[in-house]
Amino acid sequence: MTQLPTVVLASRNAKKIGEMRDLLEPYGIPLVSVSEFEDVSEVMEDGDTFQSNAEKKAREVAQATSHWAIGEDSGLRVDALNGAPGVYSARYSGPDATDELNNEKLMVELKGVTDDQRGAEYVCHVAVADPSGTVRLNIEALCRGRIAHEAHGSNGFGYDPYFQIREYHRTFGELPPIIKRQLSHRARAFNQLLPKLVRILSES
Query: Annotated binding residues for Mg(2+), as ranges?
Result: 73
Distance of alpha carbon 57 from its chain centroid, rounded? 12
Beta bridge partner(s), residue 76: 122
Measure the CA–CA gap between 3 and 5, rounded to whole angstroms: 7
Q: Is 73 a catalytic residue?
A: yes
141 contact partners, CB below 8 Å, separation of at least 6: 123, 124, 185, 186, 188, 189, 191, 192
C-alpha to C-alpha distance for 149 and 153, rounded to whole angstroms: 13
Q: 22, 46, 73, 116: which one is catalytic?
A: 73
Q: Name the binding residues for substrate.
A: 11-16, 74, 157-160, 180, 185-186
Residues with catalytic function: 73
